[in-house]
Chain A
Amino acid sequence: MAPPSHDASLALSAARGDRQAFARLVEENKRSVYGLCVRLLSDPEEARDAAQEAFTRAYASLESFDLEQPFAPWILRIARNLCLDTLRRRIPARARVELDADDEDGPPRELADTNSERADDAIQNAQTRQALEEAVAALPPNYREVVHLFHVEQLSYKEIAATMGIPMGTVMTWLHRARSQLRTLLEGQEVAP
């Protein structure tokens, strides 16, 4: 039998009550979890709260963690679900739509984004990197998430699919549509830094 992976042995120790082991898992994954929360929520305070809550819930549910799988997609999934809950609470009921928009085959369904107006202004005036950040922030949350996981966290399609709980084909479709929207948003601007 293959020896347990690094993640698995830490998770196993943590599930047996070893706080130091869990603290190491937090240390090793906090950047990606917090980064995703910031990308989805666009608010550092809310992102810190969501990310810390994600780890707290993960600790409480360690016995349900599949030791055969890497820890990162699992904790990222908990974090993204918390962020989506926060976004749903933030959106007025009358404007609420399904956050994970767009079936693979259907036309894109846009989610009203609370930052879109501010982001549009920034894109017109700011320099390239800032413009790109703002353009990403103006994407619907599910597009923003795949862009972040693929380009910033450099997860594979398979890992993104596991994190988001969607088929790989949907990941590819969302990523392509997200890039097309970004290209349109940034049209006429120099993209490279």
Chain B
Amino acid sequence: MTDIRHLDEEKAQAFLEGLLTDGERAGVDGHLESCASCQALVLSFEALEEALSRLPAAEPPAGFTAGVMARIDEREQAKAGERRVVVAVLAAVSAALAVALLLAGQAAWAPALSAVSSAGVRALHGLRISADVLSPVVSALRVQIIVATAAVGISLLLVLSRLAAPRHAQVVA
């Protein structure tokens, strides 16, 4: 018979779970044949594990899944509402800016626009990207290009505000 010390609680549990090596297991088996206190220890853990495996799991209340789906709907509606507000505010600000520029008169904003477009032209020259073709065109149409860009941008924002309906909100778990 293999001579080993009494089992501690850790080893008794490892024995029951089959976590010991073949050699360790043989030693424990041999010891258990002649040690009543270690037998009792192993049996007590065996009974405990058996009882634990019969612990009932709590049943979820009725309507649980419907409650989850209702929460999801609520969150998504709130997020969609927030998103629409943000887009609408952006659109309103852009429109107000365009109106203010128009009302201020050409004298107020034309020099600034001219400076911006001239800077753009200089940049194109600097980059040597089709400078001989683009520069005269951009210089001639600079005001029209800026007004058209603003109009397209505002229209795009308005369309987005109608379409903005996120599939689901992003919440970090």
Asked whether A90 is an interface residue with its Cβ less than 8 Å from the other chain, the reply is: no
Identify 15 new A-B residue pairs, CB closer than 8 A, beyond the known A31-B59, A48-B61, A133-B55: A19-B72, A27-B65, A30-B64, A44-B61, A47-B58, A52-B64, A52-B68, A56-B71, A59-B168, A61-B170, A61-B172, A132-B52, A151-B52, A183-B9, A192-B50
A93-101, A107-115, A174-182: which lies at the B interface?
A: A174-182
| Total interface residues in chain B, CB < 8 Å | 37
The residue in chain B whose Cβ has the minimal distance to the Cβ of A128 is B51
Cβ–Cβ contact B49 & A57, under 8 A? no
Q: How many angstroms from the CA of A161 to the CA of B170 in the assembled complex?
A: 26
Known: A51-B64, A52-B67. A191 touches B48 (CB 8 A): yes
In the bound complex, residues from chain B placing their C-beta under 8 Å from that of A193 are 51, 54
Cβ–Cβ contact A56 & B68, under 8 A? yes
Asked whether B69 is an interface residue with its Cβ less than 8 Å from the other chain, the reply is: yes
With beta carbons under 8 angstroms apart, the residue of A19, A60, A133 that contacts B75 is: A60
Can you list 20 A-B contacts (CB < 8 A)? A19-B69, A22-B72, A34-B59, A35-B58, A56-B71, A56-B72, A59-B68, A60-B169, A61-B170, A61-B173, A81-B173, A132-B52, A148-B55, A152-B52, A179-B45, A179-B49, A180-B9, A180-B10, A191-B44, A192-B51
Instruction: Name B residues whose Cβ lies closer than 8 Å to a Cβ of A.
Output: 9-10, 13-14, 19, 44-45, 47-61, 64-65, 67-69, 71-72, 75, 167-173
Q: How many angstroms from the CA of A136 to the CA of B44 in the assembled complex?
A: 16
Work out how many contacts link A and B, with CB atoms closer than 8 A: 130
Cβ–Cβ contact B60 & A57, under 8 A? no
Cβ–Cβ contact B54 & A153, under 8 A? no
Asked whether A11 is an interface residue with its Cβ less than 8 Å from the other chain, the reply is: no
Cβ–Cβ contact A58 & B60, under 8 A? no
In the bound complex, residues from chain A placing their C-beta under 8 Å from that of B170 are 60-61, 63
Contact with B along A2-35 (1 / 0, CB 8 A): 0000000000000011010011001100111011
In the bound complex, residues from chain A placing their C-beta under 8 Å from that of B51 are 128-129, 132, 191-193
Instruction: Name A residues whose Cβ lies closer than 8 Å to a Cβ of B.
Output: 16-17, 19, 22-23, 26-27, 30-32, 34-35, 38-39, 44, 47-48, 51-64, 78, 81, 128-129, 132-133, 136, 147-148, 151-154, 172, 175-176, 179-180, 182-183, 186, 191-193
User: A192: shortest Cβ distance to chain B, in Å?
Assistant: 5
The residue in chain B whose Cβ has the minimal distance to the Cβ of A45 is B61
In the bound complex, residues from chain A placing their C-beta under 8 Å from that of B10 are 176, 180
Q: How many angstroms from the CA of A72 to the CA of B72 in the assembled complex?
A: 19
With beta carbons under 8 angstroms apart, the residue of A136, A153, A172, A183 that contacts B57 is: A153
Cβ–Cβ contact B173 & A78, under 8 A? yes
Q: How many angstroms from the CA of A59 to the CA of B170 in the assembled complex?
A: 9
In the bound complex, residues from chain A placing their C-beta under 8 Å from that of B68 are 23, 26, 52, 55-56, 59
Cβ–Cβ contact B50 & A34, under 8 A? no
Cβ–Cβ contact A182 & B48, under 8 A? yes
In the bound complex, residues from chain A placing their C-beta under 8 Å from that of B57 are 31-32, 35, 152-153
The residue in chain B whose Cβ has the minimal distance to the Cβ of A53 is B71
